[in-house]
Structure 1
Amino acid sequence: MAMAGWHLSRNKVLFFSGALFITLAVGVHLTPYFPSVTDFITSVKSSSSVVVVEDRETCVSLLHEISFEVMPSNVFDPLLNNNSLNYQKFWSWSRLDSVDLCEFQKLKRNDVLDLLNGSWVMVAGDSQARIFTLSLLSLVLDSKRVESVKSFLFKRHSDYHIVVDEMDLKLDFIWAPYPNNLTDLVMKFKRRHLYPDVLVMGSGLWHMLHVTNASDYGALLRLLRNSVTSMLPVSPKFGNDGAVMGSVSSVRSPHLFWLGMPTLINSMLNTQEKRAKMNDVVQGEYEREVRKSSILREFGGPFQLLDIGSLSLNCGIKCTDDGMHYDSAVYDAELHIMFNALLIESHQKL
Structure 2
Amino acid sequence: MMLGAVQFGLFAAGVVLFVPMGMAGWHLSRNKMLFFSCALFITLAVGVHLVPYFPSVTSFLSSSSSSSSSSSLVVNRNSCFPLLHQVAFDFQELGNNSERGSWKWIESENVVDCDFQKLTKTDTSDLLNGSWVVVAGDSQARLMVVSLLELLLGKNEMEVVKGDLFKRHSDYNMFVDEIGMKLDFIWAPYVSNLTDLMMGFKEKKSYPDVFVMGAGLWDMLHVNNASDYGVSLKSLKDSVVSLLPVSSTFGNEDRSETNVVPIRSPNLFWLGMPKLISSMLNTDEKKEKMSDVMCEAYSDELYRSKLLQQSGGPLFLLDIHSLSNNCGAHCTDDGMHYHGAVYEAAVHIMLNGLLIESNQKL
The whole-number CA distance in structure 1 between the counterparts of 2:359 and 2:245 is 17
2:83 pairs with 62, 72, 83, which one? 62
Shift of the 289–68 alpha-carbon distance from structure 1 to 2, 3 Å rule, reads: same
Residue by residue, what CA displacement relative to the aligned partner does 1:235-282 show, whole Å, maximum 9, x if unpaired? xxxxxxxxxxxxxxx999571000000000111101111111101011
The whole-number CA distance in structure 2 between the counterparts of 1:302 and 1:316 is 30
Shift of the 145–223 alpha-carbon distance from structure 1 to 2, 3 Å rule, reads: same
The whole-number CA distance in structure 1 between the counterparts of 2:177 and 2:333 is 35
Shift of the 163–222 alpha-carbon distance from structure 1 to 2, 3 Å rule, reads: same
- Counting matched residue pairs gives 280
The whole-number CA distance in structure 2 between the counterparts of 1:265 and 1:323 is 5
Amino acid at match of 2:109: D
> Which residue of the partner structure matches residue 244 of structure 1?
none
User: Structure 2 matches for 1:148-159, cutoff 5 A?
Assistant: 148-159=160-171
Amino acid at match of 1:155: K
| 1:69 Cα deviation after fit | 1.1
> Which residue of the partner structure matches residue 272 of structure 1?
284
Shift of the 168–61 alpha-carbon distance from structure 1 to 2, 3 Å rule, reads: same
Q: Which has the higher helix share?
A: 2
| 1:123 Cα deviation after fit | 0.2
The whole-number CA distance in structure 2 between the counterparts of 1:226 and 1:52 is 30
> Which residue of the partner structure matches residue 93 of structure 1?
105
> Which residue of the partner structure matches residue 219 of structure 1?
231
| 1:232 Cα deviation after fit | 2.2
> Which residue of the partner structure matches residue 117 of structure 2?
105
Amino acid at match of 2:340: S
> Which residue of the partner structure matches residue 146 of structure 1?
158
The whole-number CA distance in structure 1 between the counterparts of 2:140 and 2:334 is 13
> Which residue of the partner structure matches residue 323 of structure 1?
335
- Paired residue secondary structure (2:344): helix
User: Structure 2 matches for 1:239-250, cutoff 5 A?
Assistant: none
Structure 2 regions of 5+ residues with no counterpart?
Answer: 1-62, 247-260
> Which residue of the partner structure matches residue 12 of structure 1?
none
> Which residue of the partner structure matches residue 72 of structure 1?
93
> Which residue of the partner structure matches residue 336 of structure 1?
348
- Paired residue secondary structure (2:342): helix
> Which residue of the partner structure matches residue 160 of structure 1?
172
Shift of the 190–327 alpha-carbon distance from structure 1 to 2, 3 Å rule, reads: same
Shift of the 251–214 alpha-carbon distance from structure 1 to 2, 3 Å rule, reads: closer
The whole-number CA distance in structure 2 between the counterparts of 1:262 and 1:251 is 31
Contact kept? 2:137, 2:190, Cα under 8 Å: yes
| 1:103 Cα deviation after fit | 1.1
The whole-number CA distance in structure 2 between the counterparts of 1:223 and 1:337 is 27
Amino acid at match of 2:83: L
| 1:337 Cα deviation after fit | 0.5
> Which residue of the partner structure matches residue 242 of structure 2?
230
User: Structure 2 matches for 1:148-227, cutoff 5 A?
Assistant: 148-227=160-239
The whole-number CA distance in structure 2 between the counterparts of 1:58 and 1:52 is 10
| 1:345 Cα deviation after fit | 1.3
The whole-number CA distance in structure 1 between the counterparts of 2:182 and 2:355 is 19
Amino acid at match of 1:101: D
Contact kept? 2:73, 2:359, Cα under 8 Å: no
| 1:137 Cα deviation after fit | 0.4
| 1:223 Cα deviation after fit | 0.1
The whole-number CA distance in structure 2 between the counterparts of 1:320 and 1:161 is 27
Contact kept? 1:178, 1:206, Cα under 8 Å: yes
Structure 1 regions of 5+ residues with no counterpart?
Answer: 1-41, 235-249
User: Structure 2 matches for 1:291-330, cutoff 5 A?
Assistant: 291-330=303-342
1:290 pairs with 276, 297, 302, which one? 302
Amino acid at match of 1:287: S
The whole-number CA distance in structure 1 between the counterparts of 2:262 and 2:100 is 45
Residue by residue, what CA displacement relative to the aligned partner does 1:13-68 show, whole Å, maximum 9, x if unpaired? xxxxxxxxxxxxxxxxxxxxxxxxxxxxx9x97999xx968332110010001111
Contact kept? 1:45, 1:52, Cα under 8 Å: no
Q: Kindly name which structure, 1 or 2, has the bigger radius of gyration based on alpha carbons.
A: 2
Contact kept? 1:229, 1:302, Cα under 8 Å: yes
- With a CA cutoff of 8 Å and minimum separation of 6, indicate the structure with the bigger relative contact order: 1
The whole-number CA distance in structure 1 between the counterparts of 2:152 and 2:141 is 17
- Paired residue secondary structure (1:172): strand
Q: If the length of structure 1 is used for normalisation, what is the TM-score?
A: 0.76
Contact kept? 2:103, 2:341, Cα under 8 Å: yes
